[in-house]
Amino acid sequence: MNLIFLGPPGAGKGTQAKIICQEFGYTYLGTGDLLRSLVSRSDPLALKAKEFMEKGELVPDSLMVEIVSGQLKTLKNGFILDGFPRTLEQAQILEEMLKELGIQIDHVIYFHLDDAEAENRLSNRYQCKNCGNIYNSNLGQCPKCGGSLFRRKDDEPETIRKRLEVYHLQTAPLLEYYERRGKLKRIDAQGSVEEISGRIKSILRNGKN
């Protein structure tokens, strides 16, 4: 199956994508993670991307395509795209690239979560520096690997509001785009990690939730 995970920041797309990829042997491509590892460098491309990320804005499409096109071209059946596409232009570019590769998207899974809940989750989100696992409170140390936990710079209140605004303005139009193509499957993103994985697996099994 080839899947796109779509939804507001804080909806749990990354957590679920990693679980499903591990269980089904799919390839994970998360542009947020990809960009975060890129901006730890100090070349001009990295510095430019960092500027947008820290403000809670989207990295411009042209820059984004430069960053991800190499990876998109190597996609084989069985993947999850998490955080890409995020604009209509990116969706069109992706469609073209997949067409050339002869690959189809099976489902676009839309994680539905209201803004208040997304804001609440993001402001209590901590990530392990070592394994990348995400927790919803500061446990000090990662229970999985013992690594130290940190708060992402773009999880500050001001930036969270900006990211939600950007989501509604630039990413939400993709819901209609994929609905028209008969690909959109909506899930409720409230509930335990296991419950939400169950909703996704039910779509993978039955083609619907």
Instruction: Please report how close the Cβ of residue 49 comes to ligand AMP at its closest, in angstroms.
Output: 7
Q: Could you give the CA distance from residue 22 to residue 66 in angstroms, rounded to a whole number?
A: 27
Contact pattern from residue 50 through residue 69 relative to ligand AMP, giving x for each residue in contact according to CB under 6 A and a dash for the rest = --xx--xxxx----x-----
With respect to ligand AMP, which residue has the nearer C-beta, 64 or 128? Answer: 64
What are the distances in angstroms from CA 18 to CA 22, 25, 140, 204?
Answer: 6, 10, 23, 15
Q: Could you give the CA distance from residue 151 to residue 137 in angstroms, rounded to a whole number?
A: 10
- The answer to whether residue 32 forms part of the interface with ligand AMP (CB under 6 A) is yes
- The answer to whether residue 177 forms part of the interface with ligand AMP (CB under 6 A) is no
Percentages of the chain per state (helix, strand, coil), in multiples of 5: 50, 15, 35
CB of 175 closer than 8 Å to CB of 169: no
Per CB under 6 A, which of residues 179..198 are in contact with ligand AMP?
A: none
C-alpha 135: how far from chain center = 16
- The answer to whether residue 4 forms part of the interface with ligand AMP (CB under 6 A) is no
Instruction: Please report how close the Cβ of residue 61 comes to ligand AMP at its closest, in angstroms.
Output: 7
- The answer to whether residue 81 forms part of the interface with ligand AMP (CB under 6 A) is no
- The answer to whether residue 9 forms part of the interface with ligand AMP (CB under 6 A) is yes
Instruction: Please report how close the Cβ of residue 46 comes to ligand AMP at its closest, in angstroms.
Output: 12
Instruction: Please report how close the Cβ of residue 205 comes to ligand AMP at its closest, in angstroms.
Output: 27
Could you list the active site residues? 13, 86, 125, 152, 163
Q: Could you give the CA distance from residue 85 to residue 69 in angstroms, rounded to a whole number?
A: 12
- The answer to whether residue 12 forms part of the interface with ligand AMP (CB under 6 A) is no
Q: Reduced to 3 states, what is the DSSP secondary structure of residue 186?
A: strand
Q: For residue 96, with 0-12 CB atoms within 10 Å meaning exposed, 13-18 middle and 19 or more buried, which class applies?
A: exposed
The beta strand positions in 100-199, using DSSP E, are 107-112, 126-128, 134-135, 149-150, 184-188
- The answer to whether residue 125 forms part of the interface with ligand AMP (CB under 6 A) is no
- The answer to whether residue 35 forms part of the interface with ligand AMP (CB under 6 A) is yes
- Interface residues toward ligand AMP, by CB under 6 A: 9, 31-32, 35, 52-53, 56-59, 64, 83-84, 86, 90, 154, 163
